[in-house]
Chain A
Amino acid sequence: MDTAVLDLLKERLDTVHETAISHGTLVLVVAPAELPGTVQRLKSEFEFDLFLDVTAVDWPGQKPRFEVVYHFYSTTHRVRFRLKTRVSEEDPTVGSLVSLYGSARFMERECHDMYGIVFRGNPDLRPILLYEGFVGHPLRKDYPKRAEQPLVPYRD
C-alpha cells in the first residue's frame, strides 16, 4: 500500500528530489522553494488533509545545516508521510503552510522558537514556549547546554 502510494507520488510529483521508506513511513525531500506548491498539491490531489507536525533537525557541520521535517496524514487513504526540506544557516527560511493548514500557525511558532527557522508568511512568529527577550534558539546544537536566561534576578 505504502509503496503503491509512493510510486504514484513519484510519478505525479515532479518536484520531489529523493524518496525513501523509513520505518514504514514515506519520506520525500523537496527544495524549500517548492515546498508550499508541493504541499498544496499533496493536499488537493492526494488528500493529505491532516497536518501533524513540523520540526527541524540541526546537523552541525553539514551544508545546508537544517532539515525542516513535516508530517502529514491522509484520513481517507490512511497513509502518513514525511516531507523534508533543507535550509542553510545563513537563510533558514521556508514558506509558511498557514494558508493551507490552520494548525501550522502554532507548530511553526514552536519550530521558530527552538531552531530559528523563519516561516515566511506566518503572521505571528512571537515566542510560544519561550519568553520575550530570550536570545538564541535552545535546540540548536551550538546553544550552550547549561545556559540560563532568568527573568527574575537570582537572590544571591
Chain B
Amino acid sequence: MAARIIPIRPAPSAAFEYITTKKDELVGWARKFSIFPYPFVTACCAMEFMAVSSTPYDTDRFGAALPRFSPRQADLLMVVGTLTHKQAPILRKVYEQMCEPKWVMAFGVCATSGGFYQNYAAVAGIDKIIPVDIYVPGCPPRPETVIDGIMRLQDQIARARHPILTKDF
C-alpha cells in the first residue's frame, strides 16, 4: 500500500504574528527564568545548598541552577552561612562587582539575622552590609524552603519595574 502524503495546511496569515504586552512584564518574565546564582558560601549551610543544587530538587525549573563563579556574570547573590566581620569587606566587594540588575538572597538564619551568633565575631544579618531581597529562614533551611524563596523572588522580579536605562547607564 502506497503511503499517502498529507499536505500541511498553511497557517492563515496574520495569526500570532503580533502580541501585545507591557515592557516590564516581558522583561520581568525573561529575567525571572534566568536567575544565575553566585554562591557566597561561608559555613555549614553549604551542605544544604548542595542538596538544593542536586538533581532531585531541580532548580533548573526556575532557571536558577547554573552557578556562576564570577560575580560579574551573576544575577543572584546567595549568601549561604554566617558572615563574620572579617569577611564583611569581601561580601561588600563581591556585591559591588555584580552588574545590575542584581538580587540578594540571605540563605539561612545566620545570614538573615546572625542567628545564635550575637558576639564579637559575627555580623548580625547581612542586611547591615548589603540590601537583601529575600530571606530564607532555617538552620539550615530545607531545600523546599529555598525553592519557596526562589519562587517568591521570581514573583518579586516579575512584579518589579525593569527600566532599560538606569542612573548608572
**Interface set of A (CB-CB < 8 Å, partner B):** 130-131, 138, 143, 145-152, 154-156
Contact = CB atoms under 8 A, between A and B. Distances in A.
Given A131-B86, A150-B88, A152-B129, 18 more contacts: A130-B86, A138-B120, A143-B120, A145-B119, A147-B120, A148-B85, A148-B120, A150-B85, A150-B123, A151-B85, A151-B86, A151-B88, A151-B89, A152-B89, A152-B92, A155-B128, A155-B130, A156-B128
Contacts of A151: 85-86, 88-89
Query: Per DSSP, are chain A's interface residues mostly helix, strand or loop, or mixed?
Result: loop
Which of A145, A146, A151, A154 has the largest number of chain B CB atoms within 10 A?
A: A151
Interface residues of B, number: 16
A155 B129 contact: yes
Contact of A146 (B92, B118, B129, B130): B118
B136 to A, nearest CB: 20
B107 to A, nearest CB: 19
Interface in B97-140: 118-121, 123-124, 127-131
B88 A155 contact: no
A149 B85 CA distance: 8
B120 A131 contact: no
